Amino acid sequence: MLHGIGQHLRELFLQVPLSVARGLFLAVFFALMIWIVQMSRSATTPAANSPWHEDLRVWAWLALLFQLFVYAML
């Protein structure tokens, strides 16, 4: 029974063009970047009067940007 379901899902996934799959994969990183920008500063810094480099949003956004760039080039 599970073999039939798995085979059916495999056939459905094979119908998805690679460009669409790649676009959806990159869209996940882009959506995470938007979510990170919208987070409050108080949720991403250790103290209220922290310098800018302690804000984790900056580093998370840069890491996602790097990943987006790498996967877009492959």
- Put residue 45 in one of left, alpha, beta given phi > 0 → left and psi -120 to 50 → alpha: beta
Digitized pLDDT (tens) for each residue of the chain, 74 residues in all: 899 999 999 999 999 999 999 999 999 999 999 999 898 877 777 776 777 677 788 899 999 999 999 999 97
Give domain limits for the chain. 18-73
Q: What is the pLDDT of residue 5?
A: 95
pTM of the model: 0.72
Q: What is the pLDDT of residue 46?
A: 79
Q: What is the pLDDT of residue 24?
A: 94
Find the distance separating the first CA and the last CA of the chain, reported in whole Å.
38
For residue 44, what are its two tokens? 């991403």
